[in-house]
Amino acid sequence: MRILLVDNSKGWGGAEEMLFSLATGLRNRGHYVVMFLDEGSETVTKFVRADFNVWAFQRKSFRLLQSIIKMIRIARNEKFDLVHVHRNHDLLVGKIVGYFSGKLPLVLTQHCRLCKSTFFVINLPDRIAAVSKYIADGMTERFLKLDSKINVVHNGIDPTEFEHLHEDFWCRWSELIGKGPLLGVVGYFYKNQEELIELLPFIKDEFPDVMLLIIGRDDSKRKFLEKKAEQLGVAESVLFTGSIPHAEMKHALAGLDLNLSAFRREGFGLSVLEGLAAGTPFLGYRSGGYPEIIEQGENGYLKDTFAELLQEILSLLKDKDRYSKMREQAKKSVSNKFTIDNMITNYENIYKSTN
């Protein structure tokens, strides 16, 4: 098939990592893939480096109309079979480009819960892939008529990439010499990292050398988190690692004792999958897409309250036998269920269903 993938994200997170895996997998299976991306974005740089056919467009003010006209011209020449957008706010552009390029089918991947969206816009795609049942349920709760269009397609990983890990990854960080246990959280800083900082005073009572590693970069909210740590007297127990290249992330996750999150609206959680594949148990709240990944007591724990989450973190860290077994089980829990191959096959089936 000749597939046009559209994404106007400027940054790079789990959704972009999934898009990269999908595009690579489709190309490896013989599909012709072209990317329409936002000019000046990190996605352009990374897809160009991977030798994809990339077109970059400006999306602001009157430039948007010029970009759409150019998109239509390119799409007509390329004779695509379908358009696949990866943000619901790309739907209108995707529909216009597809319609004037031969009334092409439109597919949407929805990575997060719907915020502001009208039924007119969200009903534009012919098929919708929700990355979790949590996302799918949120869409049908607002717009019941979408139910017949939605398929749940979980994100996937390549288990073979997690076979040779450097669990000593954090040993090269001078700030962490003699420290432990190492607790980590991955993601943009709007994901309630402050609540994990609030856990630290209680954890330090039992583990004085504990460290919370906040992995990622978000300059807009870092000062808020730093102030929170200072107010609670745990600033020396929080390390902002900055962004870690994805090629190294598996080693970083393997070097953690626990992968944590206090976010309650996670669409799915690719870093959770990657952490499990690296053998690192996950603990968080029973919400969002996490219950579709975590097998309670096998590869992690999901709790309902702050107190319950704190208690389970302490309990697991103290029980060395249970912890060791959970690290082994974590790897097994994702090796077959959440694979890139399964994900790509599911998308191919969705593409076929649009014809």
Percent of the chain scoring above 90 in pLDDT: 86
Task: Give the tokens for residue 63.
Answer: 């430039």
pLDDT bracket for residue 209 (50, 70, 90): very high
Distance from chain centroid for Cα 349: 22
Report how far residue 341's alpha carbon sits from residue 235's, in angstroms, rounded to the nearest whole number: 43
Mean local confidence (pLDDT), 220-243: 96
* Residue spans in the chain of domains classed CATH 3.40.50.2000: 2-156+339-353, 160-335
Integer CA distances (angstroms), 325 to 22, 179, 238, 259, 330, in order:
32, 23, 28, 16, 9
Quickly list DSSP for 164-199. S--TTGGGG-GGGTT---EEEEES-TTS-HHHHHHH
Instruction: Answer yes or no: pTM beyond 0.85.
Output: yes
Among 318, 284, 329, 326, smallest CA distance to 302 is for 284
Percent of the chain scoring above 70 in pLDDT: 100
Integer CA distances (angstroms), 100 to 82, 106, 198, 204, in order:
12, 12, 53, 61
Mean local confidence (pLDDT), 134-161: 94
Among 100, 153, 89, smallest CA distance to 122 is for 89
The tens digit of pLDDT for each residue in 13-44 reads 888 999 999 999 999 999 999 999 999 888 99
The tens digit of pLDDT for each residue in 106-142 reads 999 999 888 777 888 899 999 999 999 999 999 999 9
**CATH number corresponding to 2-156+339-353:** 3.40.50.2000
What CATH class has 160-335? alpha beta
Of the listed ranges 140-144, 215-219, 241-245, 343-347, the least confidently predicted one is 215-219
